[in-house]
Amino acid sequence: VNVRPAQPNDVPAVLPLVRKVAAFHQALDPAKYSFKSDPGELYRAWLMRKTSDELAVFLVADVAAAGEPPRVVGFLIGTVEAEIPIYTLREFGFVHDLWVEDDYRHEGIGRQLVMQAIERFSEIGVAQVRLDVLERNEPARNLFAACGFRASAVEMIRELTKPD
């Protein structure tokens, strides 16, 4: 497995994984994660820009079977985000999405993606990395805890029914 920064020509191979992470989140919490249209297409131009953004961390994990071209089996996308101006912390790294293909899980690829992202954010110079993880997503919560993240705020949601 090779974990490396994504290049523009990786984007088409990442989009199927974007669709999977979107469907995964939508299944767990449709009130929070319902997409206007195909999430792959919604991400395409944004991901393309992130491949040359100094303030973004866009990594892919690829594997090469003997005699075959490398195949992207995981990705992570993060950006530097501004904090609101009342706080002393001005900006932080934010991990938006992470996915490792089913057949390649439990091999340490997720950990490598997250640890390399932390390293990149540290080089960028932010003092903190944050992310959202669904409470029910135990594998991801364990992975992030194993990489040094702690739980902070718990987001609470209450659906309101629209009047007729």
Ligand X SMILES: CC(C)(COP(=O)(O)OP(=O)(O)OC[C@H]1O[C@@H](n2cnc3c(N)ncnc32)[C@H](O)[C@@H]1OP(=O)(O)O)[C@@H](O)C(=O)NCCC(=O)NCCS
Number of residue whose CB is nearest ligand X: 110
Q: Based on CB atoms, which residue is closest to ligand X, 89 or 146?
A: 146
Q: Is 41 in the site for ligand X (CB under 6 A)?
A: no
Residue 20 CB burial class (10 angstroms; 0-12, 13-18, ≥19):
middle
Give the H or E element holding residue 72: strand 71-82
Stretch that binds ligand X, among 32-40, 50-58, 64-72, 134-142 (CB under 6 A): 134-142
Q: Based on CB atoms, which residue is closest to ligand X, 90 or 105?
A: 105
Q: Is 99 in the site for ligand X (CB under 6 A)?
A: yes
**Which of 24, 35, 46, 149 forms a contact with ligand X (CB under 6 A)?**
24
The footprint of ligand X on residues 104-133 (CB under 6 A) is 105-111, 133
Q: Based on CB atoms, which residue is closest to ligand X, 114 or 126?
A: 114
d(CA 164, CA 142): 43
| CA distance to 61, 107, 137, per residue, from 74 (Å) | 5, 12, 17
d(CA 136, CA 67): 40
How many CB atoms lie under 10 A from the CB of residue 18?
23
Residues engaged in binding ligand X (CB under 6 A): 21, 24, 97-100, 105-111, 133, 137-140, 142-143, 146
